[in-house]
Amino acid sequence: MCAAEMDRHVAQRYLLKRRLGNGAYGIVWKAVGQRSGEVVAIKKIFDAFKDKMDAQRTFRETMLLQEFGDHPNIVHLLDVIRAENDRDIYLLFESTDTDLNAIICKGTLLKDTHKHYIFYQLLRATKFIHSGRVIHRDQKPSNVLLDASCLVKLCDLGLAHSLSGLPEGPEGHALMEYVATRWYRALEVLLSSSWYTPGVDMWSLGCILGEMLAGRPLFPGASTLHQVELILEAIPPPSEEGEHVCGGPPGTRDTEGQSTQLWEGQHLPDQD
């Protein structure tokens, strides 16, 4: 931990306790208010507005957390502080003890009661976000914060997107950006569909639930193609009768029940 990494005017207000994580985009510390004694998480974002995509992600996270942060299962954004260089910014959040990914990796800490309670809270948070016509788009265990009483705080709304004002078609809303960590992406996202619905969040939630139950990721694809293969091995394509019920076009199966047109011509991107 290096106090020099934090601007002086921020260090005067908060005492750094330990570094929680760091990456190409920033650093996260656990800190304590010098006067209040409040424990917080401080996220320093480097060059937050250096390009359009980074600026958009930072703006989204800040604005959406201000809108949704009163929900008990969504992390509270406490403050936004500008850095002295006018490029970096600090986001101050309520502090939690750990995240779901760390708990799953430890093995046997989660009992069935914990799993039920965690998933119930995730559903509550997701329903609240969807009621505001917003899709989270990056739900995964590391974005599910937990405290010692098993209280869930969904975080990281940087990839979230409002559906309001977007063109809508028969398959959902037009969204074309790169979203979600690969292991938790729905098929329509993996296949680069430009139309999808809040169902992509529900797929991610299903993957999280399966990971809690199995103790390991359900679909740990090494590439986009491998990810699709793992999903199709576990979940067979719908029957022709099911396609008609769901509005699928007739004639998308051959006589042996295998797909003949469903994936034909679909380009699988090389994104990570």
Per residue in 109-167, pLDDT tens? 899 999 999 999 999 999 999 999 999 999 999 999 999 999 999 999 988 988 875 55
The half-sphere exposure of 92 on its side-chain side, counting CA atoms within 13 A, is 18
Work out the mean pLDDT of the chain and round it to a whole number: 83
Fold for the domain defined by 10-94: Phosphorylase Kinase; domain 1 (3.30.200)
pLDDT given for residue 261 in this prediction: 36
pLDDT > 50? residue 250: no
pTM for this prediction: 0.80
Sequential DSSP letters for 209-222 = HHHHHHSS-S---S
Sequential DSSP letters for 189-235 = HHTT-SEE-THHHHHHHHHHHHHHHHSS-S---SSHHHHHHHHHHHS
Question: Does the annotation count 270 as an active-site position?
Answer: no
Average confidence (pLDDT) over 44-66? 89
Average confidence (pLDDT) over 9-35? 89
Confidence band (pLDDT; 50, 70, 90) for 245?
Answer: low
Give the right CATH number for 98-214 from 3.30.1330.60, 3.10.20.30, 1.10.510.10, 1.10.3720.10: 1.10.510.10
- The domains of the chain are located at 10-94, 98-214
Confidence band (pLDDT; 50, 70, 90) for 272?
Answer: very low
pLDDT given for residue 82 in this prediction: 94
15-29, 77-91, 95-109, 163-177, range with the lowest pLDDT? 163-177
Interhelix angle for 199-214 vs 112-131, to 10°? 170
Considering 49-53, 221-225, 265-269, the range whose residues carry the highest mean pLDDT is 221-225
pLDDT tens string 66-96:
999 899 999 999 999 999 998 999 999 999 9
**Is 44 assigned to a binding site?**
yes
| Rg (alpha carbons) of the chain, rounded to whole number | 21
172-174, strands of its sheet edge to edge: 168-169, 172-174, 195-196
Catalytic residue among 47, 54, 70, 138: 138
